[in-house]
Amino acid sequence: MKEKAKNILFWFILVQPFLDLYWFYHGSLATILPFTLPTIIRLIAVAVLFCLFFSQKESWQKLSTQKWLIAYLILLIIYSVLHLVHVRTFTSVNPTNYGYSTSGELFYLIRMCLPLVILYLTKELNFGTKQLQQVIEGVSGLFSGTIVLSNLFVISLKSYETGVISANIFEWFFNPNIGYSHMASKGFFNFTNMISAVLFMLLPLLIYYLFTDFNWITITLNVVQALAMIEIGTKVAAIGLIGGILVGLLLYLFHRYILKNAKKNMLAVLVSLLIGAGSIAILPFGPAIQRYNYEIYLAKQSDHDLSDETRELNDGLKKYPTGQKREDFLRSFIKENYQAYALNPKFVFKSYPYRYDPEFWLKIINEPGQTRMENRHLEKAMLNQVVKTNDNKLDKFLGISYVRENNIFNLERDFAAQIYSLGWIGMLIFVGPYLAILLYAAYRWLRYQSARTYLVSSLIVSSAFILLAAFYSGNVMDFLTASFIFAFIEGNLLLQVRKTKTNTTINLNQN
């Protein structure tokens, strides 16, 4: 049964890119059932894996000895009950209560548990290094290959906005006026930031396989992923590509010449340097740099002469210093002038509608233009205002609910996002284990010489990369495609660092 569970888990992780196809989340396929089809498939798959694994008596016997895990499960259940009770009552200026539903929140908590189950099963099922390589290369090939080919034939979905791109990578060099939103390609996938984070996470492992299993397949996969990370057009992918190649190369050199446990492979060094040089040459023509330049332009535009608007605003506030007439004036002014202040219409009209709290948007209007342009600043400001209105000290520990936060705006900064939705306690329970495993692996790497393998180092860097991307751009820890792949990698990391001989404690000053 365990072997069958291992095979199912292997293919389950490998097909994650297919479960992130755009059409599963938009259009008729998204509404055909109460939940999206990928979510149902994932729920069934995890349930099958759980049943197969625990159909063996020895699995239950081993679980009974893992007291830390039993304590964690009890804590998780207690927290979930307290969280659901706490978030039911909420004070807000929005009469819709930000679309909160208990069933939606309960489903979110269940969804957050699924990758943790995969992490545990991956570690217990004892995957081999060859199977790990097949999964990593397969997932990378599916994501990157789809992005590159769809860009080449100009059929890729846009990374920003909706619709299909207008130009492929070859046209970038001849037409500088295409516009980043018409260039950036995400293949046929749904969440741009999530794909960027996954590719960033996979990069150190691809470079590891380039140095340890040098052949035309590993070379091709590295080249294709580099192109995909350029074409997707996000800062995480662009900066992550150059930084990831540099870190991957330094990691190899460290293991080759300091720890002396990596084989000499100068051809792989040459290939990695050529990929890095090629990426640096292409990036200035790509959507990430184009978008960066456009944001600078918008920031300057947002600080244009606002003397007429300021005069109108000051006259209105002077005429209506308090009361209902002041609010009516502010509503009218914000509706007519939000574009002059470069405010995101999604924020003003949908996320935290100006008509319910015009005073909040007055504060935002009075901020410098560059500050108003920072989406994450406005996302946090809106959420802070919601928390302030509710005025409940327990929000800090138990959260305001994922459903409310997501219906306002999904904060593009993981960990902070989970603090708002789940509170500090919930964030530590549901997201904290990933960081704890990374720190534990780093500890084992330092303490035991047998843990300091090139593979373990690459897995540690890979895990650190996605956590860094999650903090910087968000849309990782709450999205199952990324969190399942991450859980599989961390499960293998745990497996590898525990293949140590505890009697090989080293002197940290050696080497």
Tell me the pLDDT tens digit for each residue of 77-97.
Answer: 999 999 999 999 999 998 989
Q: For the chain, give the mean pLDDT.
A: 92
pLDDT in tens, 184-211: 999 999 999 999 999 999 999 999 999 9
Whole-number Å distance between alpha carbons of 256 and 273: 17
Exposed (0-12), middle (13-18) or buried (19+): which is 345, by Cβ within 10 Å? exposed
Write the CA distances from 371 to 305, 340, 368, integer angstroms. 16, 14, 5
Pairwise pLDDT comparison (490 vs 306), residue with the higher score: 490
Q: For 132-146, 224-238, 319-333, which range has the lowest pLDDT when averaged over its residues? A: 319-333
How confident is the model over 362-382, as pLDDT tens digits? Answer: 999 988 877 887 888 999 999
* Whether 208 contacts 458, CB under 8 Å: yes
Q: Do 382 and 352 touch, CB atoms closer than 8 A?
A: yes
What is the reported pTM? 0.93
pLDDT at 1 over 90: no
- C-alpha dist (Å) from residue 116 to 73, 324, 400: 11, 51, 23
10 Å Cβ neighbour count for 31? 9
Q: Where are the domains of the chain?
A: 128-284, 300-392
Q: Are 470 and 191 in contact (CB under 8 A)?
A: no
Instruction: Note the pLDDT of residue 303.
Output: 60
Whole-angstrom Cα distance, residue 465 to residue 402?
A: 25
